[in-house]
Structure 1
Amino acid sequence: MAEKTQTKPAANGTPKPKSEVWETVVILVQALLIALVFRSLLFQPFSIPTASLQSNLMIGDYILTSKYTYGYSKYSFPFDFAPFNGRIFGRAPAQGEIAVFRPVPQQVDYVKRVIGLPGDTIQMKSGVLHINGEAVKKERVGTIIDTDSFGVSIPVIQYRETLPNGTSYIVQEISDSQPMDNTAVYKVPAGHYFMMGDNRDRSSDSRVLRSVGYVPLENFIGKAEVRFFSIKDNINPWQIWRWPGNVRLDRMFQSVYQ
């Protein structure tokens, strides 16, 4: 006699057919694959944990980066693995764009603004950015209080900086005499980029060669596009009970280039 197979009773006591169990597994696998493709090929979310791009990107902002804009490398995929060498498709980062990348000496992702292109020379003189020997236009716009990830608040001066290609944005400084306000001349190597934070005196960026330095094209992950969520004090977004009074509605669903 053939043995009869049995299905495990469901919570209500009714056996659940094996076909339904299999369909549920298939749906879950499909959902995971879609999420993986979305994250690897289209858009990847990132949170902003530090003050290096304030006030353009605040601590507690969540952004979406487009993966396809700069194409794909091993840093585009989970586990830093790709079945090819170098970078394929996409275009090169443009001066003034905010990008997520992996510095060569680091194992964590950074987000900064593209300042120097391959072959450019970069130097800071008394807080003024110089590109290829020319001072970048810098106009004072006001003073605000800036708070870093350690909760330290200090007054900073805000300026509007305009790059040679016309890209304009707000930078802020404690003063023009901080440690990285006067630097040597940096010569950006071929195939590399020079990245800087907008919060100039509170940013570890390409000016610090030992920890960030020049960024190879292959190490770019994506171009920052929009803020889709923002919450004060870097509160975990899953703590919904803390949203009232802490979610910054005025910073949500906006381009990072406003």
Structure 2
Amino acid sequence: MASTKTHRRHDWGESLRTFSVALLMAVAVRTFLIQPFWIPSGSMKETLLVGDFLFVNKFAYGWSRWSCPWGLCPIEGRLWGALPERGDIVVFRHPVTGEDYVKRLIGLPGDRVRMRAGHLQLNGQPVDQRPAGQFSEPFLPQGSTGAVPRCANRPRPGGECRVDRSVETLPNGVSYAILNLTDWARGDTTDDIVVPPGHVFVLGDNRDNSLDSRFAQAQGGVGFVPLENLIGRADRVLFSSAGSSLWAFWTWRGDRFLHAVH
């Protein structure tokens, strides 16, 4: 009888050790390698859609305090930090609200960024932008908030929502699609904005539906993003849901499984 109790205690102890090791490995992977991220808004359409579920590469830029949940890593600045590249899709911690955001990195420290009637200029030179048809999607509620997309036309519920589409190419050769409702929206024309040391400038691909570095934090934007607030680079969509929940598998978009983003 004593032998049986000892055996049971051994089994419980072994199970507890196995669970503890698995938990520590899961925490380590999420802290240092990858982090899941769900897209709640349309500011990065068409590159990222509402309901996309991403894995964020946290190794890309090294680690900061924000690499850990709730900013608990005791790290000053960045550990083994690497400067991001223009055109990277970055996930970062908002400098004021503490929320996680995803945008495209446009300006590095020292860059001069300017918008003129919806066209991007970088260091005094216009960035190549060419019309590329239209982006369309159903005019239906999206995501957990149930918000409907903004459209250039006026569709009925369930109809086709259309927005003008262009392809923008940065000086380093990175190309991506951007959406544009109008060339006279708030943020479509700015003065020269010089990115300060230790910060980056970010934009949403859905230009007229994005609060980004064009807007100061007091205006509801993100302003300049400190390098230490970068969490990682978004490289791939794991799966995507067109419904109100990630668990509504019948609304998953079949063409976005393991979809690479750039």
User: Is this contact kept in 1: 2:35–2:56, CA < 8 A?
Assistant: yes
Q: Counterparts of 2:78 and 2:237 in 1: how far apart (Å)?
A: 26
User: Is this contact kept in 1: 2:243–2:252, CA < 8 A?
Assistant: no
Q: Counterparts of 1:179 and 1:79 in 2: how far apart (Å)?
A: 33
Which amino acid in structure 2 is aligned with residue 247 of structure 1? W
Candidates 217, 235, 247, aligned match of 1:225: 235
User: Is this contact kept in 1: 2:63–2:78, CA < 8 A?
Assistant: yes
State whether structure 2 residue 160 is matched by structure 1 residue 156.
no
Partner residue in 1 for 2:260? 255
Which amino acid in structure 2 is aligned with residue 215 of structure 1? V
Q: Counterparts of 1:106 and 1:185 in 2: how far apart (Å)?
A: 26
Once the two structures are superposed, the pairs formed by residues 33-52 of structure 1 within 5 Å of their partners are: 33-52=24-43
Q: Counterparts of 1:144 and 1:113 in 2: how far apart (Å)?
A: 19
Counterpart secondary structure, 2:13: helix
Q: Counterparts of 2:205 and 2:31 in 1: how far apart (Å)?
A: 27
User: Is this contact kept in 2: 1:49–1:234, CA < 8 A?
Assistant: no
Which amino acid in structure 2 is aligned with residue 97 of structure 1? D
Counterpart secondary structure, 1:17: helix
How far does residue 6 in structure 1 lie from its aligned partner after superposition?
A: 9.6
How far does residue 79 in structure 1 lie from its aligned partner after superposition?
A: 2.4
Which amino acid in structure 1 is aligned with residue 165 of structure 2? Q
How far does residue 144 in structure 1 lie from its aligned partner after superposition?
A: 2.6
Partner residue in 2 for 1:216? 226
Residues 95-151 of structure 1, C-alpha deviations (whole Å, 9 max, x = no match): 000010012112100000000110011111001001111111000011233566611
Residues 38-89 of structure 1, C-alpha deviations (whole Å, 9 max, x = no match): 0011111101000010110000001111111100000001220223311011
State whether structure 2 residue 141 is matched by structure 1 residue 131.
no
Counterpart secondary structure, 1:56: coil
State whether structure 2 residue 73 is matched by structure 1 residue 108.
no
Counterpart secondary structure, 2:243: helix
Q: Counterparts of 2:244 and 2:110 in 1: how far apart (Å)?
A: 37
Gaps of 5+ in 2: 152-161
State whether structure 2 residue 200 is matched by structure 1 residue 203.
no
Which amino acid in structure 1 is aligned with residue 69 of structure 2? P
User: Is this contact kept in 1: 2:58–2:67, CA < 8 A?
Assistant: yes
Percent identity between the aligned chains? 38
Q: Counterparts of 1:152 and 1:167 in 2: how far apart (Å)?
A: 27
Q: Counterparts of 2:38 and 2:166 in 1: how far apart (Å)?
A: 25
Gaps of 5+ in 1: 8-14
What is the CA RMSD across the aligned residues, in angstroms?
1.9
How far does residue 153 in structure 1 lie from its aligned partner after superposition?
A: 4.2
Partner residue in 1 for 2:136? 145
How far does residue 91 in structure 1 lie from its aligned partner after superposition?
A: 1.0
Q: Counterparts of 2:166 and 2:183 in 1: how far apart (Å)?
A: 12
User: Is this contact kept in 1: 2:113–2:193, CA < 8 A?
Assistant: yes
> What TM-score comes out, normalization by structure 2 length?
0.87
Counterpart secondary structure, 2:42: coil
Partner residue in 1 for 2:183? 176
Q: Which runs of 4+ in 1 moved over 3 A?
A: 4-7, 145-149
Using a 3 Å threshold, how does the CA distance of structure 1 residues 95 and 234 change in structure 2: closer, same or farther? farther
